Amino acid sequence: MIDLPYIKKIFLDIISKYNELFGLDLSYMDVELSEHPRYNDGSISTEIADDEFVGSWTKNKIIYINCNPDKVIEHWNLSMSIDEFLYWIIAHELAHEIYFNLMEKSEIDYIIELAKQENFTTEYLKIVKPEKIDEEIFAEYLAYLIN
């Protein structure tokens, strides 16, 4: 299990990178650890098993990260260190905030188009529901650019 001060250090580093690369201020956001997946309103989700939960973006300006990243890495058979995992998922979840609240649609569409032109993909994108694919391409691609 990881501790919150360690997560907050990574979180602040990623916020700084988004500011440097895109001029975006995410300083109003916060990060918390959770054993359970969350809906966008922050309530606990029962649709996803706890061991499948990676992270959640919420409309209440908090992202939740699974407090047992080693178990998540093992469950999903990811070939990355805990630090790589944390940097990726925090950047990904913050990208949802950017998608919904900080970038114009034309900028979002441009980034999605860049990712598609590069044939950018991840294992995660292969299982995303079609109605969420553009949002998730955006989040994955921004996480890739930040890391």
- What is the structure's pLDDT at 123? 86
- What is the structure's pLDDT at 101? 96
Q: What is the pLDDT confidence band of residue 130, given thresholds at 50, 70 and 90? A: very high
Tokens (6 digits) for 92: 């990904």
CB–CB of 147/87 below 8 Å? Answer: yes
76, pLDDT greater than 90: no
- Domain holding 131, by residue range, is 4-146
What DSSP line would sit under the chain, residue for residue? ---HHHHHHHHHHHHHHHHHHH----TT-EEEEESS-B-TTSPBPSSS-GGG--EEE-TTSEEEEES-HHHHHHHTT--S-HHHHHHHHHHHHHHHHIIIIIS-HHHHHHHHHHHHHTT---TGGGGS-GGGHHHHHHHHHHHHHH-
Tokens (6 digits) for 142: 């921004």
Q: Which of 28, 20, 25, 12 is nearest to 91 (CA)?
A: 12
* Amino acid present at 20: E
Write the pLDDT tens digit of every residue in 97-114.
Answer: 999 999 999 999 999 999
Write the pLDDT tens digit of every residue in 18-34.
Answer: 999 999 999 999 999 99
Domain count, the chain: 1
CB–CB of 58/40 below 8 Å? Answer: yes
User: pTM value?
Assistant: 0.93
CB–CB of 14/22 below 8 Å? Answer: no
Write the pLDDT tens digit of every residue in 38-62.
Answer: 999 999 998 888 878 889 999 999 9
